Structure 1
Amino acid sequence: MARRTGRRPGNPDTREAILTAARAAFADRGFDAASIRAIATAAGVDPALVHHYFGTKEELFRATVAIPVDPAELVPRVLAGGRDEVGERLVRTFLAVWDSPVGTAAVALLRSAVSNQWTARLLREFLVTQVLRRVVEQLDLDPAETPLRGALVATQIAGLAMMRYVIRLEPVASASPDTLAATIGPTVQRYLTGPLDSA
């Protein structure tokens, strides 16, 4: 009889207790302020067990919001190439994920965030700390402007997600990724690197 290899699945009750504690911590305190130690204490387990089940804090956070992709793998694609095309590449990468089979989980999360404040806070933390911050920190921008720039980008990306995947507004819902990247990308680019004042 062949022996099973790899990490054992472990106790599902323990795993769920950790996830429940993590969701509460991330929603209440945000990603930066939540600690593995505090999450472990709330779940009634040793911090080493949290690492055993989920690895890093980023991986635990991703599990709490059920996002099936790792932004750390996607952001380098967005940043590869010239600085002046980051907006278009960000839109194109976003569409590639949401148009793929894993996009259904993202759509479900977005629908839930509209009606559930707790989910909305988790989604906001995910977008800000795991996606937008990683992009804007690599663009050599004025640190005082990066929160506003990131939030402005989020308005475009979240708006696109709502119109294309939830409300299904035509012709946006059926437009090609190339068309959307070419038309929305410049606005995202202006939010990322353009002047923010009206002068």
Structure 2
Amino acid sequence: MPEGPEDPEAPEYPGNAATGRRGRGRPAGARSGTAETRDRILAAARAEFSARGYDKTSIRSIARSAGVDAALVHHYFGAKEQVFAASIEMTFEPAFGVPDVLAAGPEGVGERLARFFVGIWENPVTRAPMLAVLRSAVTNETAAGVLRGIVLRRMLERVAAELKVPDPRLRAELAASQMLGIAMMRYIVRIEPLASADIEEVVRLVAPTLQRYLADPDPGAAVTG
């Protein structure tokens, strides 16, 4: 029997999801108080969203993959949007280390940042969930909101805080748009020759643009001057 849409009347289970404290009505018999169970749900959610995208993934499919009752997923995370946000935050945790790339100073920051992002995209472990969120954000406003709020906003605020240049937030957004655009063209649309270009060549060509965005006192001068 095909799986239907999410049940809007799925029960909620009060309690402290972070501590695993049992709330009234929590499903009995499940070992739901352990961090291991919560992590298993998150891992299953990441796999489901990566394979099926946001729209085609349901709480029930995540529960089946994790080997738990769907009510337990609701207990820990609430609605599908919250499960998606939590799984994507876990996926993008390495990206929150971007300020480490900037800590070495402005010289060469464009190349370091390009290499950092390319390394994440080229890693098969992190590529699949990142592709899932990028694909989903293009067609689904909920997924786009998660991308803006958890991935771009959190990451960009930390990047901008490290930049000692005018308009740091705008510059960080321009740098992010460059890298996300390359990801879209190389890994999703797969436009040639970019899709099969040597990764060192991609870094070499992109680094000067990122350098200008992030470190040049007047990033438009190199173009208009």
In the alignment, what sits opposite 2:171?
149
What corresponds to 2:214 in structure 1?
A: 192
The percentage of aligned residue pairs carrying the same residue is: 36
Structure 2: state its 5+ residue gaps. Answer: 1-33, 39-67
- Distance of 1:148 and 1:74 partners within structure 2: 19
Q: CA deviation at 1:190?
A: 1.0
The residue type paired with residue 164 of structure 1 is R
Name the counterpart of 1:96: 119
**1:81 pairs with 2:104:** yes
Shift of 1:20: 3.7
Alpha-carbon distance between aligned partners in 2 of 1:74 and 1:64, rounded to the nearest angstrom:
18
Higher radius of gyration, 1 or 2: 2
Q: Does 1:177 align with 2:199?
A: yes
Look up the equivalent residue of 1:9 and give its one-letter code: T
SS where residue 194 of structure 2 aligns? coil
Task: Give yes or no for the alignment of 1:19 onto 2:77.
Answer: yes
Question: In the alignment, is the contact (CA less than 8 A) between 2:120 and 2:127 conserved in 1?
Answer: yes
Do the aligned residues in 1 keep the contact of 2:187 with 2:195 (CA within 8 Å)? Answer: yes
Cα distance in 2, alignment partners of residues 132 and 89 from structure 1: 16
Q: Provide the rounded CA distance (Å) in 2 between the counterparts of 1:65 and 1:110.
A: 11
Cα distance in 2 between the residues matched to 1:117 and 1:73? 23
Partner of 1:119: 143
Give distance in 1, aligned partners of 2:190 and 2:159: 27
Distance in 2 (alpha carbons) for counterparts of 1:99 and 1:170: 17
Distance 2:117 2:131 in 1: 12
Change over 3 Å in CA distance of 1:81–1:176 after alignment to 2? farther
Aligned match for 1:9, one of 32, 37, 40: 37
Call closer, same or farther: CA 1:168–1:197 in 2, change over 3 Å.
closer
Distance of aligned partners of 1:94 and 1:193 in 2 relative to their CA distance in 1, 3 Å threshold: same
Q: Distance in 2 between matches of 1:72 and 1:159?
A: 16
* Kept in 2: contact 1:128–1:150 (CA 8 A): no
Match of residue 109, structure 1, among 133, 156, 163: 133
SS in 2 for 1:84: coil
- Structure 1 CA distance, aligned partners of 2:180 and 2:198? 18
Are the counterparts in 2 of residues 87 and 188 from structure 1 also a CA contact under 8 Å?
A: yes
Which secondary structure does the structure 2 equivalent of 1:107 belong to?
Answer: helix
Match of 1:129 in 2: 153
Task: Decide whether the 8 Å contact of 1:163 with 1:172 is kept in 2.
Answer: yes
Deviations 1:17-38 (A, max 9, x none): 45345946xxxxxxxxxxxxxx
Gaps of at least 5 residues in structure 1 are: 1-5, 25-59
Measured at CA, do residues 132 and 66 of structure 1 come closer, stay the same or move farther in structure 2, by a change above 3 Å?
closer
Question: Quick one: distance in 2 between partners of 1:167 and 1:130?
Answer: 26
